[in-house]
């Protein structure tokens, strides 16, 4: 390649090889990362060639938008295209730095956004079945307290793991959690969850090591803070025992909490506060779930709604 301020051709293959060599030697990127860069750049080069673009100097915002739109229509996700665009931007920054071209043609080209999928939820009947297991086994008491609390207050798994003994006030019916961005919020706790936590805390000492000052509310058999992985496995086991025909995981309880709260109250702002969402657009996904529920009720109930 010759450097002449964008006037000379910049061969697709030669530019990619030179750039990848730079990533390995100068940037010390791993072979796996460089391989991903090369693959993405080669795919973009192929698409440009189909548009009769002869080399990288022929790339511009218009044909690059066409490339991205075409690849998206062929099934490439928005996330994959964002990664691909990032690789192309990096290549052009390199070419500008070495005076091969004057400007970055993809600096303002956005990647298409994927449609946000609706979160799964459990039916209220499934929730009731999940918490219907009776017994005084200490692990069952602990597990029930964890999952009642997650569903009662819409906790993230990470928030439940971080809870200490003094995080919850059973008399006041409140729990203090630290969420994303180290933001603290105080949430109401329902009576069923309060009862489950009280039953667990009465027995918690039996799993504590002698002389331990562990402050975690939920602990393992070894007397240490319970890990996220352990909670996920315990919930899966509990769901199988109750015969729920779903893959049940902690965040599914949070989704179910949000959907059931919105379905009952219709108060989107309140649900946003309870979930600790910084942006209400994150919470609005549950309005779609609520509409789906209403649509199903409508189709079952309205005499002229049934679709043949």
254 is known as an active-site residue: yes
* Orientation of helix 61-73 relative to helix 78-97, angle to 10°: 150
Q: Which residue in 156, 204, 255, 260 is the catalytic one?
A: 156
Residues 6 or more apart whose Cβ sits within 8 Å of residue 221: 207
- The pair of structure tokens assigned to 53 is 């673009």
- List 38, 72, 251, 293, catalytic entry: 251
Contact predicate 175/187, CB 8 Å: yes
Cα separation, 282 vs 15, in Å, equals: 41
277 is catalytic: yes
Q: How far is CA 18 from the centre of its chain?
A: 36
Q: What are the tokens at 125? A: 């009947």
Separation between Cα atoms, residue 241 and residue 233, nearest integer Å? 13
Residue 114: φ, ψ to 5°: -75, 150
- Cα 15 from Cα 36, distance rounded (Å): 16
Selected catalytic residue, list 84, 142, 144, 254: 254
- The question of whether 260 is a catalytic residue gets the answer no
Q: How many CB atoms lie within 10 A of CB 182?
A: 6
Q: What number of CA atoms fall less than 13 Å from residue 85's CA on the CB side? A: 26
Q: What is the CA radius of gyration of the chain?
A: 27
| Residue 221: active-site member | no
Strands 168-169 and 174-178, by their bridges, are antiparallel
Active-site residue 29, yes or no? Answer: no
Task: Measure the CA–CA gap between 259 and 68, rounded to whole angstroms.
Answer: 35
Q: How far apart are CA 228 and CA 16, in angstroms?
A: 42
Q: Is 151 a catalytic residue?
A: no
In angstroms, the CA 1 to CA 150 distance is 60
**Annotated catalytic sites, by residue?**
156, 180, 251, 254, 277, 286
């Amino acid at each position: 390649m010759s450097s002449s301020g964008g006037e000379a051709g910049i061969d697709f293959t030669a530019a990619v090889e030179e750039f990848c060599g730079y990533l390995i030697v100068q940037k010390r990127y791993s072979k796996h990362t460089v391989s991903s860069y090369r693959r993405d750049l080669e795919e973009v080069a192929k698409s440009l060639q189909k548009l009769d673009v002869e080399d990288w100097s022929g790339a511009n915002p218009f044909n690059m938008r066409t490339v991205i739109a075409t690849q998206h229509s062929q099934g490439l996700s928005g996330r994959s295209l964002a990664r691909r665009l990032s690789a192309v931007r990096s290549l052009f920054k390199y070419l500008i730095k070495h005076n091969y071209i004057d400007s970055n043609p993809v600096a303002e080209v956005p990647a298409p956004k994927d449609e946000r999928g609706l979160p799964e939820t459990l039916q209220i009947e499934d929730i009731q079945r999940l918490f219907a297991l009776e017994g005084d086994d200490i692990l069952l008491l602990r597990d029930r307290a964890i999952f009642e609390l997650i569903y009662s207050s819409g906790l993230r798994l990470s928030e439940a793991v971080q809870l200490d003994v003094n995080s919850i006030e059973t008399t006041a019916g409140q729990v203090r959690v630290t969420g994303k961005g180290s933001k603290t919020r105080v949430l109401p706790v329902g009576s069923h969850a309060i009862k489950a936590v009280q039953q667990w805390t009465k027995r918690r000492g039996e799993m504590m090591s002698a002389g331990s000052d562990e402050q975690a509310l939920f602990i393992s058999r070894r007397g240490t803070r319970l890990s996220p992985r352990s909670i996920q496995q315990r919930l899966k086991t509990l769901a199988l025992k109750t015969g729920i025909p779903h893959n049940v995981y902690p965040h599914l309880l949070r989704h179910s909490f949000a959907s059931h709260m919105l379905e009952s109250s219709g108060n989107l702002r309140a649900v946003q506060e309870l979930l600790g969402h910084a942006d209400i657009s994150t919470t609005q996904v549950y309005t779609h779930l609520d509409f789906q529920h209403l649509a199903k009720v409508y189709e079952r109930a309205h005499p002229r709604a049934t679709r043949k």
